[in-house]
């Protein structure tokens, strides 16, 4: 049996899966990125090396990376496939759910919508410039209210009268929420209002002018939050499906893409125990001043990102 | 000693240099070629500009500041059909009143037309003995040179996907751009055109079918590689066939002639012009659909009103023809990762559709 690895290095969390030839997940892991993608990937790989049997580790044929740190981590671990998270999510979801038409994805710093018709992506959109209405917003506001993210669901269910919170912008939403708290609204109503605000923000940004058709699949870290799922159900008036691996579908997708692009040689899943230094420098080759990212493995220059000509990257 | 400079867009600075080099009085006047746009230029421009102004304003004023800092004391600027028409006036005010630069500002435009008589008068400070005949003669050559540059770079752009080694064609492009600085007669232009076309034709050996992507939108983002995160170059390097209509010679020489044609092409969606190149974005997208292109990428800088006008119409077209169009707005962004992610996903989507 051949095995394939997919790693999705997101802004908040790093996800990894190992799949077999039939796309079954044989191992998976979900850890925090903590703003240090290299450390997180090291940790993730070490966990896999402990968790997986020798049979699996010796028969890995491809490694794919996706997520916002895909290029950096891809170069460091020698990934065979490096692809954007939009494609990875679409492929991952379609492998689990053949008849999906709409994918709603809300992660730590971004949110996207992917529309699928007959197994082909026909439209997608991703939030630009601003992270309003994403996981980061939910978790920071929950912290302000002294509520664990995991408990949001419980509070949502308790709420009888959710407050209305402006959804367009996180900064306004926050001042709105403080105001509502100061005039004595209950905590559960505030939290329910927050969940609704995330959904409002999402529909304002993405749903406008698009046809949401069944089947709707909701994924990404925020989909684990039943409060937001319920709010989506109410808003879209549709059944919302959440896969049990909804937080891993990006990693699953990239593993499947890596599988289709795999060659006949084995690769090793390993991150050397050396210090990786990243330096972002302006290239001095000409007046263009390209920003080049130099990746050093110890003292040795491993690779560069952002180099545009033969003069640079030295 | 007068040192003359001008803001840059793409590689067109070379054509301007060629023109100025032939008309200035070389004993009393020097040309300072503007550097290509880069982060530093953008930063300089950002500091000097009002926050909400469109991005090309920031690039051009940044380029001027950079030249002034390097010794220029005469600056030439153009104008155009949208907010661009007021760039010169506002930039002159900012540079002189806010930043206290002491220099001569030559604005070649009045309203949104070239003010020829006034321009001639003003340009005389570069060479007091300049006669109208000389200017007309050199201007004719420059326009031919501009047409040549656009012809050959468009030819390269349209055909790069059929070349086996992309570096070969890039080498030729470099040679051409070096030549642009020195060409001095119509005869030379004709000879070079033949020579380079033959050289390029020799390289076109790859006959595979390629994904075809059109690029439409605002002129500055289209023609200046840095301001669109090198979109065109990246697509060419990945081997896709790309098409863009907007070039300087189109804007200066052909645009006014083809106004009626463009409006007719877009007649199902537009009854009148929507300013600057907005109408073209719509008409050209329809043309690309007819020509069997796989997708269109629409780019614009932040705050570009004509292209904002075009966007809802393009969305309607995308629905009507179920044709993929990607939109992106550039501002003074420092990281192009987000843009690349979207382009990559867009191309994946086109490839998936192609396979089905």
B203 with B289, same domain: the answer is: no
Chain A CB contacts of B321 under 8 Å are: none
B114 with B143, same domain: the answer is: no
The pLDDT score that the predictor gives to residue A256 is 95
Domain count, chain A: 3
* Total beta-carbon pairs less than 8 A apart between chain A and chain B: 59
A7-16, A105-114, B178-187, B335-344: which range is least confident on average? B335-344
The pLDDT score that the predictor gives to residue A285 is 77
Is B341 near chain A, with CB under 8 Å?
A: yes
Contact A287 B36 (CB under 8 A): yes
The pLDDT score that the predictor gives to residue A313 is 63
Selected residues 199-258 of chain A with any CB under 8 Å from a CB in chain B: 209
Contact B341 A209 (CB under 8 A): no
B227 with B255, same domain: the answer is: yes
Is B33 near chain A, with CB under 8 Å?
A: no
The CATH number for A200's domain is 3.30.420.40
- The answer for residues whose C-beta is within 8 angstroms of residue B268's C-beta and 6 or more apart is none
Closest-CA residue of chain A to B348: A87
B189 with B219, same domain: the answer is: no
Query: Crossing angle of helices A226-236/A187-202, nearest 10°?
Result: 60
User: Closest to B39 (Cβ–Cβ): which among A122, A123, A291?
Assistant: A291
Q: How far is B79 from B75, CA to CA, in rounded Å?
A: 14
Contact B38 A209 (CB under 8 A): no
Tens-place pLDDT, residues B219-278: 999 999 988 888 999 999 899 999 999 999 998 888 888 888 999 999 999 998 888 889
Q: How far is A123 from A136, CA to CA, in rounded Å?
A: 25
The pLDDT score that the predictor gives to residue A270 is 82
Last residue of a domain, one of B130, B154, B177: B130
Chain A CB contacts of B349 under 8 Å are: 87, 120-122, 124
Contact B344 A87 (CB under 8 A): yes
Position A266 in a domain? no
Is B349 near chain A, with CB under 8 Å?
A: yes
User: Closest to A68 (Cβ–Cβ): which among B226, B337, B353?
Assistant: B337
Chain A CB contacts of B35 under 8 Å are: 287
Contact B40 A289 (CB under 8 A): yes
User: Closest to B35 (Cβ–Cβ): which among A84, A128, A287?
Assistant: A287
pTM score of the predicted model = 0.88
A238 with A153, same domain: the answer is: yes
Q: What is the pLDDT along chain A (314 residues), one digit of tens a residue?
A: 899 999 999 888 999 999 999 999 999 999 998 888 999 999 999 999 998 998 999 999 999 999 988 989 998 888 999 999 999 999 999 999 889 999 999 988 888 999 998 888 888 888 866 777 788 888 888 888 888 888 888 899 899 999 988 877 778 888 888 899 899 999 999 999 989 989 988 988 888 778 888 889 999 989 988 889 999 999 999 999 999 999 999 999 999 999 999 888 888 888 877 788 888 888 877 777 777 888 888 888 888 887 777 776 66
A145 with A74, same domain: the answer is: no
CA distance A186 to chain B (A): 39
A121 with A75, same domain: the answer is: no
CA distance A69 to chain B (A): 10
Position A108 in a domain? yes
Predicted confidence (pLDDT) at residue B115 exceeds the cutoff of 70: yes
Chain A CB contacts of B356 under 8 Å are: 118-120
B231 with B269, same domain: the answer is: yes
B175 with B279, same domain: the answer is: no
B167 with B220, same domain: the answer is: no
Closest-CA residue of chain B to A288: B38
Last residue of a domain, one of B207, B222, B251: B207
A106 with A208, same domain: the answer is: yes
Closest CA to A165 of A148, A141, A149, A147: A141
Residue linked to tokens 């990376």? A65
Predicted confidence (pLDDT) at residue B145 exceeds the cutoff of 90: yes
A180 with A209, same domain: the answer is: yes
The pLDDT score that the predictor gives to residue A128 is 67
Tell me the two tokens of residue A21.
Answer: 């030839």
Last residue of a domain, one of B207, B227, B245: B207
A106 with A219, same domain: the answer is: yes
CA distances from B353 to A23, A149, B343 (A): 23, 39, 15
Predicted confidence (pLDDT) at residue B314 exceeds the cutoff of 80: yes
B233 with B315, same domain: the answer is: yes
Interface test with A, best of B348, B351, B354, B355 (most A CBs within 10 A): B348
What is the number of H-type helices and E-type strands within chain B? 15, 10
User: How would you class A263 by CB atoms within 10 Å of its CB: exposed for 0-12, middle for 13-18, buried for 19 or more?
Assistant: exposed
Position A211 in a domain? yes
Edge-to-edge strand ranges of the sheet holding B325-330: B241-243, B212-217, B295-301, B325-330
Residue linked to tokens 């077999």? A20
B318 with B251, same domain: the answer is: yes
CB B6 within 8 A of CB B34: yes
> Across-strand partners of A300?
A297
- What DSSP string runs through A297-312? ETTEEEEEES--SSSS
Domain that holds residue A82: 3-89+251-260
H or E element at residue A153: helix A152-158
The residue-averaged pLDDT of B107-129 equals 84
A53 with A124, same domain: the answer is: no
A235 with A255, same domain: the answer is: no
Domain that holds residue B182: 139-207
CB B241 within 8 A of CB B208: no
B77 with B33, same domain: the answer is: yes
Q: How far is B88 from B7, CA to CA, in rounded Å?
A: 11
- The answer for residues whose C-beta is within 8 angstroms of residue A130's C-beta and 6 or more apart is A169, A170
Position A267 in a domain? no
H or E element at residue A117: strand A111-117
User: How would you class A251 by CB atoms within 10 Å of its CB: exposed for 0-12, middle for 13-18, buried for 19 or more?
Assistant: buried
User: Closest to A84 (Cβ–Cβ): which among B40, B334, B345?
Assistant: B345
A27 with A77, same domain: the answer is: yes
The pLDDT score that the predictor gives to residue B83 is 85
Contact A85 B322 (CB under 8 A): no
Domain count, chain B: 3
Q: How far is A67 from A83, CA to CA, in rounded Å?
A: 8
Contact A282 B39 (CB under 8 A): yes
The CATH number for B214's domain is 3.40.50.11900
SS3 label, residue B272? coil
The pLDDT score that the predictor gives to residue A209 is 76
A164-173, B72-81, B157-166, B307-316: which range is least confident on average? A164-173
Tell me the two tokens of residue B301.
Answer: 């800088």
Contact B352 A124 (CB under 8 A): no
The pLDDT score that the predictor gives to residue A294 is 86
Tell me the two tokens of residue A145.
Answer: 């209210």
CA distance A284 to chain B (A): 12
The pLDDT score that the predictor gives to residue A263 is 87
């Amino acid at each position: 049996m051949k095995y394939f690895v997919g790693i999705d290095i997101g802004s908040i969390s790093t996800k990894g899966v190992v799949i077999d030839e039939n796309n079954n997940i044989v191992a998976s892991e979900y850890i925090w990125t903590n703003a240090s993608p290299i450390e997180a990937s090291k940790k993730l790989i070490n966990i896999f090396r402990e968790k997986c049997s020798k049979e699996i580790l010796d028969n890995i044929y491809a490694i794919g990376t996706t997520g916002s740190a895909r290029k950096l981590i891809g170069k460091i671990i020698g990934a065979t496939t490096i692809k954007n998270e939009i494609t990875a999510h679409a492929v991952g979801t379609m492998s689990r759910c053949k008849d999906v038409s709409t994918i709603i994805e809300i992660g730590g710093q971004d949110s996207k919508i992917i529309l699928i018709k007959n197994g082909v992506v026909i439209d997608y959109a991703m939030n630009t410039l601003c992270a309003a209405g994403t996981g980061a917003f939910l978790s920071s506001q929950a912290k302000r209210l002294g509520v664990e993210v995991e408990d949001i669901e419980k509070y949502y269910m308790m709420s009888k009268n959710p407050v209305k919170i402006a959804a367009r912008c996180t900064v306004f939403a926050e001042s709105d929420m403080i105001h509502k708290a100061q005039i004595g609204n209950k905590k559960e109503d505030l939290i329910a209002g927050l969940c609704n605000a995330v959904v409002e923000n999402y529909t304002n940004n993405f749903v406008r002018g698009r046809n949401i058709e069944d089947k709707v699949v909701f994924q990404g870290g925020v989909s684990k939050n039943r409060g937001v799922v319920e709010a989506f159900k109410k808003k879209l008036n549709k059944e919302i499906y959440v896969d049990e691996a909804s937080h891993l579908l990006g990693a699953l997708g990239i593993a499947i893409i890596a599988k289709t692009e795999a060659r006949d040689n084995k690769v090793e899943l390993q991150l050397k125990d050396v210090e990786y230094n990243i330096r972002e420098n302006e290239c001095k080759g000409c007046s263009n001043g390209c920003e080049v990212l130099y990746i050093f493995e110890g003292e040795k220059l491993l690779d560069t990102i952002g180099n545009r000509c033969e003069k640079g990257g030295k | 000693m007068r040192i003359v400079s001008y803001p840059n867009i793409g590689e067109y600075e070379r054509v301007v240099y060629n023109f100025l080099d032939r008309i200035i009085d070389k004993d009393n006047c020097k040309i300072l070629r503007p550097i290509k746009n880069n982060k530093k230029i953008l930063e300089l421009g950002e500091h000097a500009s009002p926050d909400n102004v469109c991005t090309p304003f920031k690039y051009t004023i940044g380029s001027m500041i950079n030249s002034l800092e390097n010794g220029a004391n005469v600056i030439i600027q153009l104008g155009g059909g949208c907010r661009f028409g007021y760039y010169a006036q506002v930039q002159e005010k900012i540079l002189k009143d806010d930043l206290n630069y002491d220099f001569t500002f030559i604005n070649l435009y009045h309203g949104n037309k070239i003010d020829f008589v006034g321009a001639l008068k003003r340009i005389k400070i570069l060479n007091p003995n300049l006669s109208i005949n000389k200017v007309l003669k050199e201007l004719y050559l420059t326009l031919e040179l501009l047409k040549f540059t656009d012809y050959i770079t468009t030819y390269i752009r349209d055909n790069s996907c059929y070349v086996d080694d992309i570096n070969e064609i890039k080498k030729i492009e470099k040679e051409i751009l070096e030549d642009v600085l020195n060409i001095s007669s119509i005869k030379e232009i004709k000879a070079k055109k033949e020579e380079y076309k033959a050289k390029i034709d020799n390289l076109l050996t790859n006959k595979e079918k390629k994904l075809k992507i059109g690029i439409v939108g605002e002129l500055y983002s289209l023609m200046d590689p840095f301001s669109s995160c090198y979109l065109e170059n990246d697509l060419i390097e990945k081997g896709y066939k790309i098409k863009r209509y907007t070039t300087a010679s189109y804007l200066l020489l052909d645009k006014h002639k083809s106004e009626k044609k463009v409006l007719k092409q877009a007649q199902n969606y537009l009854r009148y012009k929507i300013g600057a190149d907005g109408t073209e974005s719509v008409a050209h997208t329809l043309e690309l659909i007819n020509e069997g292109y796989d997708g269109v990428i629409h780019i614009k800088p932040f705050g570009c009103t004509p292209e904002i006008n075009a966007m809802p119409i393009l969305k309607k077209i995308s629905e009507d023809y179920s044709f993929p169009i990607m939109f992106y707005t550039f501002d003074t962004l420092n990281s192009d990762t987000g843009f690349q992610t979207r382009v990559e996903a867009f191309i994946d989507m086109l490839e998936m559709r192609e396979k089905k």
